[in-house]
């Protein structure tokens, strides 16, 4: 599949909110302990105002994956605000906060395309590492990251409404 990865523009904000909500829903609708908390998280994390605020933060970058027909099939959110400094062995890192592909395009290699672009971007910006947090029960994603040579370096907490979940913090050297 021919995929183009591009940096999102301000006009893409409504699309980012929509695709973020849809992809998170598809990925985790079966793995949540409270539908009420799940819906609350979706409405708070993926509303247009929140995405607008994130887009305008000077430590955030959104990427869109598009097929040859220019249809968006996935997205990624990167950040470099050093919020993981206490857990990272290196402090020259960029964090992949989100990477999601629309369900219709799962298992087509799009995640790998996106990850390679993220590694290239990290190197071009002078980062030594890419880190990410992945839900501890998302075994498919954990295996995917391990195949890309990410290493488990600890755990972090993730708030899903009133529920606190554990994520595995993973890191890959890209320098």
- Each residue's pLDDT tens digit, 24-57: 999 888 876 678 888 988 999 999 999 999 999 9
Query: What pLDDT was estimated at residue 173?
Result: 97
Query: What pLDDT was estimated at residue 36?
Result: 86
Query: What pLDDT was estimated at residue 38?
Result: 87
For residue 1, pLDDT over 80 is answered with no
Average pLDDT, the chain: 93
Query: What pLDDT was estimated at residue 90?
Result: 81
* Domain range enclosing 153: 3-173
Query: What pLDDT was estimated at residue 5?
Result: 95
For residue 4, pLDDT over 80 is answered with yes
Query: What pLDDT was estimated at residue 60?
Result: 97
Neighbouring C-alpha atoms within 13 Å toward the C-beta of 127: 23
Which of 139, 93, 96, 142 has the alpha carbon at shortest distance from 118? 96
Give the whole-angstrom CA distance, residue 134 versus residue 149: 14
Mean pLDDT of 77-100: 93
User: Which phi and psi angles does 174 have, rounded to 5°?
Assistant: -125, -5
For residue 89, pLDDT over 90 is answered with no
Query: What pLDDT was estimated at residue 24?
Result: 92
Q: What CATH number corresponds to the domain at position 22?
A: 3.40.630.30
Query: What pLDDT was estimated at residue 161?
Result: 77
Query: What pLDDT was estimated at residue 15?
Result: 97
Say how many domains are in the chain. Answer: 1
Neighbouring C-alpha atoms within 13 Å toward the C-beta of 73: 22
């Amino acid at each position: 599949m021919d995929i183009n990865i591009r940096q999102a523009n301000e006009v893409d904000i409504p699309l980012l909110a929509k695709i973020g909500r849809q992809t998170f829903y598809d990925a985790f609708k079966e793995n949540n302990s409270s539908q009420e908390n799940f819906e609350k998280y979706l409405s708070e994390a993926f509303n247009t105002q929140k995405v607008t605020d994130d887009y305008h933060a000077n430590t955030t970058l959104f990427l869109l994956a598009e097929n040859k027909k220019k249809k968006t099939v996935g997205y990624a959110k990167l950040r470099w605000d050093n919020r993981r400094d206490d857990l990272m062995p290196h402090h020259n890192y960029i964090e992949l906060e989100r990477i999601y592909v629309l369900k219709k395009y799962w298992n087509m290699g799009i995640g790998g395309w996106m990850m390679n672009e993220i590694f290239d971007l990290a190197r071009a910006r002078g980062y030594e590492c890419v880190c990410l947090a992945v839900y501890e029960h998302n075994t498919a994603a954990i295996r995917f990251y391990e195949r890309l040579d990410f290493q488990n370096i600890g755990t972090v907490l993730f708030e899903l409404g009133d529920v606190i979940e554990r994520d595995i913090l993973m890191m890959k050297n890209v320098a």
